[in-house]
Amino acid sequence: MRTDSSEGRRTDFPLLYAAATLCLIITVAPFAWMFLSSIKPTSEILKMPPVWLPSTITFEHYRRLWSSAFASSMVNSAVVSISITLTTILVNSMAGFAFAKYRFPGRERLFTLLLATMMIPGQVTMIPVFILLKYLGLLNSYTGLVLPGTASVFAIFLMRQFMMGIPDSVLEAARLDGASEPRLFAQIVLPLAMPAIATLVIFTFMASWNEFLWALIIMLDESKYTVPVALAALNGQYGTDWGLLMAGSVVTILPVLGVFLLMQKHYIRGIATSGLKG
């Protein structure tokens, strides 16, 4: 029986590898085409039949990209995305810690109410938030772009669920040693919650970096456009410079990829830890 089972597993391995290889090719092919198109001469990008490898490698599209307003949009997106990510971690980790470890009247009902708001589409609240920011004078400003993304119910839920797994005995021992609540949170809770924080960093940075609709609504000055809006602006009214658009797309995905590579160790550790809890 053991022999038949092991032989069956060995027979399945080639099929699994073939399926995984096929999925890998389907996933990577669009990115490979995007990168190769960004270094092709313009005449070869729309050539039929399609040509994968360029006859001559050119970086003219990247030179034109960085000489345009797209370079300033990269700085704008970096400022906005980093600001949203840092404020989201600070605000929502404190809220998650309060819901996980403090007892106060109405805690469960308030948390249930927060979860219920996750069923409301973000597009429904765009007009009220826009009017509120208009009265506050925050339109066409980075503050108006960052402030609505500071508090996130998903982030509160994620941090609360992870922090519930931190033993109360650890926190009580720190309190007995004289640790204040801010010190307890900063030096004990946050390091223990690093896998959840890494997950939140990846999701928040990726969402804020790729945000298009809200940035298009809030920002009126072209010099303050973020990357998605600037990338859409590369589409001309009567035609599209595909080489320039592909170069912009390649540059756009690099910061997100960098953040994931930076945080992947903590992210994978969080997945492994959550699997062991079961």
Q: CB under 8 Å to 165, separation ≥6 — which residues?
A: 277
The domain tally of the chain equals 2
In this structure, is residue 57 part of a structural domain?
no
3-state class of 177 per DSSP? coil
pLDDT (0 to 100) of residue 13: 76
Backbone conformation region of residue 140, classed left if phi is above 0, alpha if psi is from -120 to 50, else beta: left
54 inside domain? no
Q: Is there a domain that residue 268 lies in?
A: yes
CA triple 153-139-114, angle to 5 deg: 15
Are both 78 and 131 inside the same structural domain?
Answer: yes
Same domain, 159 and 270: yes
Contact yes or no for 223/72 (Cβ under 8 A): yes
CA–CA dist 226, 75 (Å, integer): 8
Q: What's the CATH code of the domain at 159?
A: 1.10.3720.10
- On whether both 145 and 205 belong to a single domain, the answer is yes
Instruction: Give the model's pLDDT for residue 70.
Output: 87
CA distance 131 to 139: 9
Give 237-262 pLDDT, tens digit per residue.
Answer: 556 788 888 999 999 999 999 988 88
Domain boundaries, position 14? 2-45
Is 55 inside a domain boundary?
no
- Asked whether residue 89 falls in the same domain as residue 210, the answer is yes
pTM of the model: 0.83
Task: Say how far apart CA 191 and CA 184 lie, in whole Å.
Answer: 10
**Do 19 and 141 have their domain in common?**
no
The verdict on 23 and 109 lying in the same domain is: no
* Residues in the chain, pLDDT under 50: 1, 275-278
